[in-house]
Amino acid sequence: MIALLQRVSRAKVRVGGNCIAAIDHGLLVFVCAEPDDTDALAAKLAAKLLKLRIFSDPGGKMNLSVADVQGGLLIVSQFTLAADVSGGNRPSFMGAAGPELGRLLYERVVATARSLHPNVACGEFGADMQVSLVNDGPVTIPITLRA
């Protein structure tokens, strides 16, 4: 699984002009499933997102997790994280899981996160979404988990 997380002051997702999800202080996480990913790997990613210590403690060090700071988690599907641009100017997305598996694993990440954390919002799988955010730091971290 591939994820790109951003520590944010706020973030929201709009579909068709309507805000469908929003958080204040927390993490915006873009998630992409790959063909060999599993349900267990999706659950592992969700747990890792909640434990990463990337929020500042009172001393200014990155030492607290989103759970520690009671922040929000906004999870958005984004198959383009699997883009391969090595063959020319048009990206190939063959590295992304197909829509059926992609949806299943995305939903597993969201469901696991919701079972572990009280403030989880999500985008709409497969929709044309507009995501806006205020990156805090900025802190942007790519994550790749393999089975």
Kindly report the CATH number assigned to the domain that includes residue 27: 3.50.80.10
DSSP 101: H
Task: Give domain status of residue 145, yes or no.
Answer: no
Name the domain count of the chain: 1
For the question of whether the overall pTM of this predicted structure is more than 0.85, the answer is yes
Bond prior to 138 in cis (omega within 30° of 0): yes
Contact 30, 109 (CB under 8 A): no
Task: Give domain status of residue 93, yes or no.
Answer: yes
**How many Cβ atoms are within 10 Å of 25's Cβ, its own excluded?**
18
pLDDT tens-digit profile, the chain (147 residues) = 999 999 999 999 999 999 999 999 999 999 999 999 999 999 999 999 999 999 999 999 999 999 999 999 999 999 999 999 999 899 999 999 999 999 999 999 999 999 999 999 999 999 999 999 999 999 999 999 997
Spot the catalytic one: 6, 30, 55, 78.
78
Task: Give domain status of residue 107, yes or no.
Answer: yes
- Reading the block at residue 104, the tokens are 């299943």
Q: Is 30 a catalytic residue?
A: no
Spot the catalytic one: 80, 130, 140, 144.
80
| Domain range for 94 | 2-138
Q: Is 130 a catalytic residue?
A: no
pLDDT of residue 147: 79
Spot the catalytic one: 6, 30, 55, 79.
79
Task: Give domain status of residue 132, yes or no.
Answer: yes
Rg (CA), the chain: 15
Task: Give domain status of residue 113, yes or no.
Answer: yes
Q: Is 6 a catalytic residue?
A: no
Task: Give domain status of residue 102, yes or no.
Answer: yes
